[in-house]
Structure 1
Amino acid sequence: MSTQAQELPDFDEIAETMGYLPDLDAKFQFLIDLSKRLPLIQEDEETDNFRVWGCQSSVWIVPFEDEAKKGVLNFRGKSDSVLVSGIIATALALYSGHTAEEILTIDGTAEMKKLDLESHLSPTRRNGLMGMIERIREYAAATLG
């Protein structure tokens, strides 16, 4: 089972690719393809402690510290929807590999606008994405105490 966030492309690479794609169908297909590279959670991690509430689909995001780089956080996630799994992958690509302090300085809302998805997502999917960002920020803040 994959647990290494490094399997995902860099967020800027994702944003650049999304910018080149000709239409919404191609963008959604790219997200579905990203979902296959999502660092997966363990079955026993599908608990309320890691659940992201407010999403239309079931979503879990699990933080873990990089074993090679002390203080660096990575994330893995899961959803029951392949499209949402792709959206999770974009959030994980944005935040994984940073310290808690760095995570708290990243403006996730502004960064996600680079993907040009906001107007194409349903209100519940947009709320879910914002919930994912908030949950990741909560994990980072908790790490700092």
Structure 2
Amino acid sequence: MDVFDQIVAGDVPAEVIARNDRAIAFLDTRPLFPGHALVCPVDHYETFYDLPADLYAAICSLARRVALAQRDALDAEGTFLGNNNIVSQSVPHFHLHVVPRHRGDGLRGFFWPRTRPSSDELHAVGDRLRAVIEEQR
């Protein structure tokens, strides 16, 4: 049982800001900015790959509610949504970061390193991805 399972069960205290029968939202104890929240499924799914599609939709719906609350309660000008899947995933329980943003807040360079591939390189990667997506149908 990971710490998020324990939060869901009420065994570990957390600043829960929203909950429904499928997902829970609570404040991150090591936030980037005040109001930085985590939204995760009530049931245990370790990674993004493990989530049923309809559950991801429910999580995103709750994340939207949290982001709107951040906008209205904290005057957030925008929102950053993020998920570390396996690589750098600190808790083995899927969770979506919902981070309130303000112009000039200093959050940049979140996606390093950035490159400038040629159109041929983009096309080659696109072909590979399209082929697999087509197989998934």
State whether TM-score is above 0.5.
no
The TM-score normalised by the length of structure 1 is: 0.33
- Greater share of strand: 2
- Greater share of helix: 1
Q: Select the structure with the greater relative contact order (CA < 8 A; seq sep ≥ 6).
A: 1
The TM-score normalised by the length of structure 2 is: 0.34
